[in-house]
Amino acid sequence: MSIKIPPSWFDAKIDYTHPRFHEALAFGRAAARNANWEWDRAETSLMEVWSSSPRQGKWWDVRGAVFYAWDEERLSFSAKDEDDEWSDGVAGL
């Protein structure tokens, strides 16, 4: 698991890659790609969207999976940005 500092409510013992979480994982990844907010600020909006649409599971059951995917996607953005900075610097030589 790649989460640096998980929230206190996050249960690292749960396998969030289990098929029952696939919709929540996709939701978390998509949200992370389309928002610049940090989790603390975004969670309320994500909860409202999840809860108001016909999705699988209650928010409290999928919250960890959404966060897991959110965090994973955000970390991949950070790594991609670092790679881009390095390659831009090399290209400028």
Q: What is the mean pLDDT of residues 5-31?
A: 93
Of 23, 12, 16, nearest to 49 by C-alpha is: 23
Round to whole Å and give the CA distance between 90 and 58: 48
Cα within 13 Å of Cα(69), Cβ side: 22
Give the 3-state secondary structure of residue 17: coil
Domain ranges of the chain: 19-91
Q: What is the mean pLDDT of residues 45-64?
A: 92
Whether the full predicted model's pTM is greater than 0.95, yes or no, is no
Q: How much is the pLDDT for 82?
A: 53
Scan for tokens 């890659």, then name that residue. 17
Burial of 19 (0-12, 13-18, 19+ CB in 10 A): exposed
Whether 79 shows a pLDDT value over 80: the answer reads no
The residue with greater pLDDT, 1 or 63, is 63
Q: How confident is the model at residue 93 (pLDDT cuts 50, 70, 90)?
A: very low
Whether 49 shows a pLDDT value over 60: the answer reads yes
